[in-house]
């Protein structure tokens, strides 16, 4: 009894509480401890809670809740302070009381919810499940922004599964996408999951797409970002953000055009390019492999129109690429295209092409295998007398060109 009174007195002094000059000798240890627990806070409360167990005093849930009000109010002022005393059930009860204290504060001041979520998300996350509750919503959003990848994935999976099972899935999904990524944009994997699972009519808030939007609208767009944006566009999830939508549509139309160009004739390519609209350098460079393939597989006259469509800087970029292709050519396609651009295109484009390509065209016949020179000659001689005379400047003594049709057929608009 004497040791218990000393421990209680020490805890009261530590909390700044007055210590009675003498204790009623008839007072039971339970009453002494309950009285002291109501008056202390912080670690002193935990010290007394340990005394409760050392003296085998059993407190009911209602007794613990009643005597811990001061402790819980103080705990709410000290985010991140752990509570390690008591049993697991007692700690769970205290955490629940803390949640109610914080919830009362958010009701009094709604603007506090996000701050409290940031401060307490690690402790409160296991029991946070109600997205319509401001405190739970803030805790879940903070877990997405601050948690480990594993925690984040678990929270997203739990909330999307709950949205699927809700009585109003569409409303539940709208609430979920609004809350989950309120404090951090979604990852690419999360966006793919949204595209796969979101019900029709779901529209993603723009802040959720902040990271993806930045990559799509950057001076150098990422092909993967454009692909993902196209996936969200097909799923109807993109918000009505003009710059994002226009970039996605241009990307799609450019890829479709590159696929069609090898079968397009010179007479229709201008209309196709006009429908494409103003070129955006970042999109064209992001789809560079498709543009290169279209240039090499299309009729040179069609490829010329595609290059003319591009602004000067981009045009020069692809001409420099073509020069490298000519130097390393394993077939005649890049050589024939380079020749057409440098010698048969309109004056402005031909001048630009000649500056970048003529050196490579003049050097190519001297080191190319005879069969490649012959293949290029067959294709170039189809372009008439001007082409023959220009080709003769580069290849004064061409190999014999067979009269049978070779690999290049202009009549079909294909190579």
> 10-residue block means of pLDDT along the chain (415 residues)?
70 63 61 79 79 80 88 89 81 92 92 91 90 92 93 93 87 91 92 92 90 90 92 92 92 93 85 84 92 94 91 91 92 94 88 90 90 91 90 76 44 42
Contact 138/114 with Cβ under 8 angstroms?
Answer: yes
Q: How many other CB atoms sit within 10 Å of the CB of residue 243?
A: 10
| Structure confidence at residue 142 (pLDDT) | 94
The token pair that represents 96 in the structure block: 């629940």
DSSP-derived letter for residue 86 is S
Structure tokens at 118: 């940031």
Torsion of CA 395, 400, 403, 408, to 10 degrees: -40
Distance from C-alpha of 87 to C-alpha of 378, rounded to nearest angstrom: 90
Pairwise CA distance, residues 188 & 407, whole Å: 44
CB 237 within 8 A of CB 202: yes
**pLDDT given for residue 23 in this prediction:** 56
Q: Of the candidates 394, 336, 327, which has an alpha carbon nearest to the alpha carbon of residue 367?
A: 327
**Which two three-digit tokens encode residue 142?**
């903070």
Q: What is the model's pLDDT at position 367? A: 87
Res 340: pLDDT: 93
Which H or E run includes 198? none
Spell out a b/e string for 132-161, using b for 16 or more CB atoms within 10 Å of the CB, else e: ebbbbbbbbbbbbbbbeeeebbebbeebbe
d(CA 373, CA 365) in angstroms, rounded, equals 6
Note the pTM of the prediction, 2 decimals.
Answer: 0.76
| Interatomic CA distance for residues 54 and 38, integer angstroms | 19
Tell me the β-bridge partners of 414: 298, 409
> What per-residue confidence (pLDDT) applies to 12?
67
């Amino acid at each position: 009894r004497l040791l218990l009174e000393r421990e209680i007195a020490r805890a009261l002094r530590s909390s700044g509480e007055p210590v009675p000059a003498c204790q009623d000798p008839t007072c039971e240890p339970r009453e002494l401890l309950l009285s002291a627990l109501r008056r202390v806070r912080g670690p002193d409360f935990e010290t007394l809670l340990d005394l409760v167990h050392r003296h085998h005093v059993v407190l009911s849930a209602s007794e613990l809740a009643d005597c811990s009000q001061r402790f819980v109010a103080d705990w709410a002022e000290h985010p991140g302070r752990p509570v390690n005393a008591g049993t697991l059930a007692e700690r769970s009860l205290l955490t629940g009381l803390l949640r109610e204290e914080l919830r009362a504060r958010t009701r009094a001041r709604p603007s506090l919810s996000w701050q409290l979520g940031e401060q307490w998300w690690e402790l409160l996350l296991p029991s946070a499940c109600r997205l319509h509750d401001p405190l739970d919503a803030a805790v879940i959003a903070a877990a997405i922004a601050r948690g480990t990848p594993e925690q984040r994935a678990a929270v997203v999976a739990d909330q999307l599964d709950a949205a699927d099972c809700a009585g109003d899935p569409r409303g539940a999904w709208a609430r979920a996408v609004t809350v989950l990524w309120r404090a951090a944009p979604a990852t690419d994997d999360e966006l793919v999951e949204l595209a796969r699972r979101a019900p029709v009519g779901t529209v993603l808030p723009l802040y959720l797409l902040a990271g993806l939007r930045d990559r799509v609208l950057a001076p150098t767009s990422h092909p993967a970002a454009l692909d993902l944006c196209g996936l969200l566009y097909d799923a109807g999830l993109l918000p009505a953000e003009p710059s994002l939508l226009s970039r996605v549509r241009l990307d799609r139309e450019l890829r479709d055009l590159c696929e069609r160009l090898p079968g397009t004739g010179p007479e229709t390519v201008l209309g196709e390019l006009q429908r494409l609209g103003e070129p955006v350098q970042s999109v064209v460079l992001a789809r560079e492999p498709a543009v290169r393939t279209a240039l090499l597989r299309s009729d040179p006259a069609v490829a010329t129109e595609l290059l003319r469509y591009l602004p000067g800087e981009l045009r020069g970029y692809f001409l420099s690429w073509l020069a490298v292709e000519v130097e390393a050519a394993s077939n005649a396609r890049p050589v024939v295209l380079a020749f057409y651009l440098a010698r048969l295109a309109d004056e402005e484009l031909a001048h630009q092409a000649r500056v970048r390509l003529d050196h490579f065209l003049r050097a190519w016949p001297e080191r190319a295998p005879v069969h490649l020179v012959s293949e290029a000659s067959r294709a170039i001689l189809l372009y008439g007398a001007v082409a023959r005379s220009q080709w003769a400047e580069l290849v004064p003594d061409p190999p014999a060109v067979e009269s049978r049709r070779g690999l290049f057929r202009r009549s079909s608009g294909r190579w």
